[in-house]
Amino acid sequence: MNKEELIAKYIRNELSESEIKEIEELLDSDTHFKEQFEFETQIQKAIYRREHDKNKQFLKNIESKVSSKNSKANWFLIAASIILLASLGFYWKQYTTSPERLFSNYYSKASNTSHPIVRHNSDTDKLTKAFIAYESEAYNKAQSLFAEVYKLLNNSELLFYEAICYMEMDETQLAIETFNKHQTFQDKLAGKSQWYLSLAYLKSNKKNKAENLLKEISSSTSNYNYDKAKDLLSKL
């Protein structure tokens, strides 16, 4: 399980004992993870606290207007409290299952499985440079090189990495177009590409297209990220 998923499961209170231990170890050993974890959880707390404070103030306003001896007013106050608690729960569920939030929870950058980089290798061909840039998170440079090398070699797998670069640069529509182009080749990354295409649709709020792809992925246990697709589909 990747680190982003661990944080997402922590926020949803869905961690197993082993996952709790994994988070504790990461918090002790991984500074970047700790910063991301604290940032994500603080955002969640701030949103919840803001809604809670607004509802609390609303209840105070109601309470100040009614007499403690007025039983009908007390029943109104109780009913208002129940409605507000329910609305807060609904708001929280809506927030955690919004397309943007779900994308954030399920997306993580694809690792390079096509062209392993040997750091001490003096090879400086464009393909190697493209993957070095990709692994170094220089996505603008990597995208340009992947596009250039694809034209030279016609290696369809490079379209997948180019699309991921677009995702990382927040160019979601270009990512969708490139993933769709890659899907026409059915190479060994096709299944992975399908998963990322569904996430790109989700990020761009094209929920129906995302659902259709996720249904296709979750239709067979042999498909890439079958379990995740099934889980994500249940939240849409």
Most confident of 64-68, 91-95, 205-209: 205-209
Q: Which of 208, 126, 209, 195 is nearest to 167 (CA)?
A: 195
Indicate the pLDDT class of residue 10, thresholds 50, 70 and 90.
confident
**Token pair in block for residue 180:** 């769709």
Using an 8 Å Cβ cutoff, are 214 and 236 in contact? yes
Q: Is the pTM of this model over 0.75?
A: no
Predicted pLDDT at 11:
74
The winner for highest mean pLDDT among 10-24, 28-42, 177-191 is: 177-191
Structure token pair of residue 134 = 């990709």
Token pair, residue 233, equals 């589909």
Cα dihedral 33, 34, 38, 44 sign: positive
Q: Under CATH, domain 126-235 is a member of which superfamily?
A: Tetratricopeptide repeat domain (1.25.40.10)
Indicate the residue type of 159.
L
Closest among 127, 197, 139 to 166, alpha carbons compared? 139
> pLDDT tens for residues 31-89?
888 888 887 777 776 666 666 566 556 556 655 655 554 555 555 556 655 655 555 55
Taking the alpha carbons of 21, 27, 32, 38 in that order, is the dihedral positive or negative?
positive
Separation between Cα atoms, residue 233 and residue 30, nearest integer Å: 31
What is the structure's pLDDT at 53? 60
Answer yes or no: are the C-beta atoms of 23 and 13 closer than 8 Å.
Answer: no
What residue ranges do the domains of the chain occupy?
Answer: 3-96, 126-235
At 166 the pLDDT is: 98
Cα distances from 114 to residues 77, 130, 132, 141, in angstroms, run 63, 12, 12, 18
**Amino acid present at 32:** H
The answer to whether residue 159 scores a pLDDT higher than 90 is: yes
Q: Please give the Cα distance from 33 to 72 (Å, whole number).
A: 52
CB proximity list for 42: less than 8 A, separation 6 or greater = none
